[in-house]
Amino acid sequence: GERRVLGSQRTPDWRTRVAEMAARRNFLQVRYADIVYVVGWRLEKGKDQFTGRNDVSPHETPALDVGGGTGWACQWYVDRFADGREDPALCKLFFFDDAGPPWARKDPATEGRWSSWSLAGNCWEPLEGGELPPAPYGLYAGI
C-alpha cells in the first residue's frame, strides 16, 4: 500500500484514513487470492486516491488508478508480485470499469468493459473484443 500514497498525500494521518475505508477487509480479501475480479471506477489524473475529488499533482495519482477502498485492494494484490516476492506471471487482476461517479475518469478504452492489470506496463489492458475474464478458480476474490 505504501506505493499508493504519493507526495503531498503522505500526511501523518494517511494510515488512519486508509483504515477508515474498510482496509482490513480489503487486504484480507486479496492476501492469498489466486485471482481477483473488481468492479469500480478510475481516478482522474491529478485527483487524490482517498476521495477522487481533491486536486493533487498529476504525479500523485497512482498508476493503479482504481478509486476508493477497491483501489487499495487492487494495490495490495499487485504488491504481492512486486520486487520478486511472488511470480509475476501469477498476477491475475481483472477490472470492470463501471464509469463510477461524475468525477471519475472516463476512458473509452476501459469504460464498460473488462481489463487486466499489466505488471510490465504498469497499466490496464482492455481484454480484446469485449472478452470476459477467465472463470474463477482456486481461491479468488470478487470486490
Q: Kindly indicate the confidence band of residue 5, based on its pLDDT and cuts at 50, 70 and 90.
A: low
pLDDT exceeds 80 at position 2? no
Report the percentage of the chain scoring pLDDT > 70: 88
Q: What's the N-to-C CA distance of the chain in angstroms?
A: 17
pLDDT at 132: 97
Alpha-carbon gap, residue 129 to 46, rounded angstroms: 30
Alpha-carbon gap, residue 96 to 15, rounded angstroms: 27
Alpha-carbon gap, residue 46 to 94, rounded angstroms: 24
Question: What is the pTM (predicted TM-score) of this model?
Answer: 0.85
Query: Among the ranges 2-16, 41-55, 128-142, which has the highest mean pLDDT value?
Result: 128-142
C-alpha cell at 82: 512486486
Structural Rg of the chain based on CA atoms: 14
Coil, strand or helix: which one is 92? coil
pLDDT exceeds 70 at position 37? yes
